[in-house]
Structure 1
Amino acid sequence: MFRFGNPEYLWFFIVIPVLLVLYIYLNIRKRKDVQKLGTLSTLKKMMPELSLKRSYLKFWLIFAAICVGIIMLARPQFGTKVETVEKEGIELVIAIDVSNSMLAEDVSPNRLERAKQILSRLIDVRGNDKVGLIVFAGEAFIQMPLTSDTQSAKIFLNTIDPSLVPVQGTAIGEAIRLGMGSFSSDQEASKAMVIITDGEDHEGNAAGIAADAAKAGVQINIIGIGSPDGSPLPSNEYGSNFMTDSEGNVVVSRLNEQMSMEIAQSGKGLYVRADNSNRAIQALTAQLDELETTTSSSLVYSEYDEKFTVFAWILLVILFIEILIYDKKNPIFRNVRIFE
């Protein structure tokens, strides 16, 4: 099992393309400045000590050092000890709406990011449950099968964005069907689904499917996210401008609370609206705590070995080599001919 202890430092890789573009730009500018003095071949004869290849090599060594340094800061770790752990909990499948309407900003920072924060907190609170993840919009897909590894569930959760489901819509009924097929065959285990959605562009008979799920012993809970008053829908994930309809009017996305309540009621579960507090988590936790728990055994990685020291040594070697390389030909080894 591999993971990063501080994955947030991996965001520094964003600056890598900027460094490459800047380096290329400065080299082009330098070449133009040199050409003002004469042709490059003539200037090379005038400066025999100059070595462009060494300059390029030094840059790529520094570039490699930066990449290795970022990985080192993120603290790569490998799981080394596997233990069988018994947990007493329920089977919980979480379905998250990733349609474009979830980018509306009537909750901070937007519906989708707030939904991920809520679900991450829920996974922490329900640490003894087996958890599965489903993403849906116009279609539904299993993002992670049912597992006791809640840390992996949080990692998968952080990767969720609207691009995972290209077909737009809100196919809650399909998500419920897929969730029902994700549970184990253990008849004694209590089963529940938590669906977080704004209910926009609702498709299908989700309430009827939720009723069928309740009859099969699966409790359907809905977290509504957004505002009934609605919010302009950004045309991109950065919210720089808003979507408009064919007549040029700004598209406003609204939380469909009535539909969400009907689905939760049919599924013998709870409906709660999410906001910028922890009220939704508290209400949902209380609801799930009423379900009967069962004991299950699972293999988990209980210890992780830090591997950042390996990358630290690689970084030191790269920097040491870079220091030994001159921008111009080394006068000590100028006359050495290894292959002659």
Structure 2
Amino acid sequence: MYKIEEPIYFYFLTIIPVMIVVFLLAFIWKKRTQRSFSNESLLAQLAPNTSTFKSVLKLVFLLIGVSLLIVSLTNPKMGTQLKTVKREGVDVVFALDVSKSMLAEDIAPNRLEKSKQIISKIIGKLGSDRVGIIIYAGNSYPLLPITTDHAAAEMFLQNANPDMVSSQGTAINEALELAKTYYNNDEQTNRFLIIISDGEDHQEETKQIAQNISNEGIKVYTIGVGTETGGPIPMKLNGSLIGYKKDSKGQTVITKRVSEVLQDIAIASNGSYIDGNKTETPVKEISTLIGNAQKSEFETKQFSDYKDQFQWFIGIGILFLIIDGFFFEKKTKWLRKVDLFDEEKNKK
């Protein structure tokens, strides 16, 4: 297992295509300049040892050397041992509504992105707690099983979108049922389910299911995003707005946050409802709740004893630069005798 400590330095690799372009421009300019005062046969006599192949090879050595030195700046590390580590924490599952109504822009940038911001910031404040992510619309799907890998949770979260579910709607019931299967530690005394939605398209039996899940020891908290006045649902193609969703009568659909639904779920499960339109409000409340909760001990396997590997990249990179420095663009005498590329034959 490996990890990159400073991935930002990978941006320096953009210098590689720049160096290639500069080399090509210089090569073209040199050829045009030479042809402006002489022809190819005369140039071959004036500079018989010039080798285009070795010029390219010299550039390759330089690019490899520079690339390896840039990679060394990221400080790559290798995990040398897989250990079972005991940690303390709680289990937190996020149920994210990805229905089309979550694309409404009545709060900036839109309801879905606001929800992602809230989840991301809560995860950022967690310690050794385990997290899992469920997405739902007309159906619910496990986006990420419960894990201690918060970086993976952030990555999967950013990819969540309405196209990942096969049908539209807001199947909160299915999300609640799926959440019950996420908590794989029977000894975990503190289990949290955080539902983030605009509350539309709920089902009648939702409150009963929420009460049942509460009876199993899962603390349910709901976060509402969107405004009561609502807004239209934008329809986009390749990122460009092409219109707004309309109903069967051709009228623009206005989607509104239905806070009462989320409040009912919270009350039925002995949890609480939080307004999510201001990011810091739910982040602070949820982080405080989790932080004050009693932590349970659990085991997790992870790579440990990470060792720095940057020295290998520095060493090999410098080696290529040394080779480049001692590598001449002129033809090698013994290679001229062998004439691998039929250069001498082609001159005759």
TM value normalised by structure 2 = 0.70
How many corresponding residue pairs? Answer: 331
Counterpart residue identity of residue 330, structure 2: K
State the alpha-carbon separation in 2 of the partners of residues 11 and 120 from structure 1: 24
> Which residue in 1 is equivalent to 2:224?
224
Paired-residue identity, %: 27
Distance 1:318 1:127 in 2: 44
Conserved in 2, the CA contact under 8 Å of 1:233 and 1:251? no
Query: Which runs of 5 or more residues in structure 2 are unaligned?
Result: 340-348
Q: Deviations over 1:66-108 (max 9, x none)?
A: 5434433332222346665444432222234456666666666
> Displacement of 1:186 after TM fit?
0.8
Structure 1 partner of 2:93: 93
Distance 1:203 1:37 in 2: 81
| Match 1:309 to one of 305, 308, 311 | 311
Residues 28 and 275 (structure 1), Cα distance of their counterparts in 2 relative to 1, 3 Å cut: farther
Q: Secondary structure at the match of 2:179?
A: helix
1:156 is matched with 153
CA RMSD of aligned residues (A): 4.7
* Amino acid across the alignment from 1:245: Y
Report what 2:51 is aligned to. Answer: 51
The 3-state SS of whatever aligns with 2:189 is coil
- Equivalent pair of 2:90/2:190 in contact (CA under 8 Å): yes
How do 1:1-340 and structure 2 match up within 5 A?
1-10=1-10, 15=14, 19=18, 26=25, 45=44, 48-65=48-65, 67-80=67-80, 84-98=84-98, 114-137=114-137, 139-147=139-147, 149=148, 152-159=149-156, 160-162=158-160, 165=164, 167=166, 169=168, 170-186=170-186, 189-199=189-199, 207=207, 209-228=209-228, 229-230=230-231, 233=234, 235=236, 241-245=240-244, 255-275=257-277, 277-288=279-290, 292-301=294-303, 303-326=305-328, 328-330=329-331, 333-336=332-335
Matched position secondary structure for 1:272: strand
Where 1:57 maps in the other structure, the secondary structure is helix
Letter in 2 for 1:118: I
Question: C-alpha displacement at 1:304, in angstroms?
Answer: 2.5
Specify the structure having the higher radius of gyration (Cα).
2
Relative distance call for 1:251 and 1:37 in structure 2 (3 A) is farther
Q: Is the 8 A contact 1:120 1:154 kept in 2?
A: no
**Residue type of the alignment partner of 2:131:** V
Structure 1 residue runs of 5 or longer lacking an equivalent are none
CA–CA distance in 2 between the matches of 1:161 and 1:308? 31
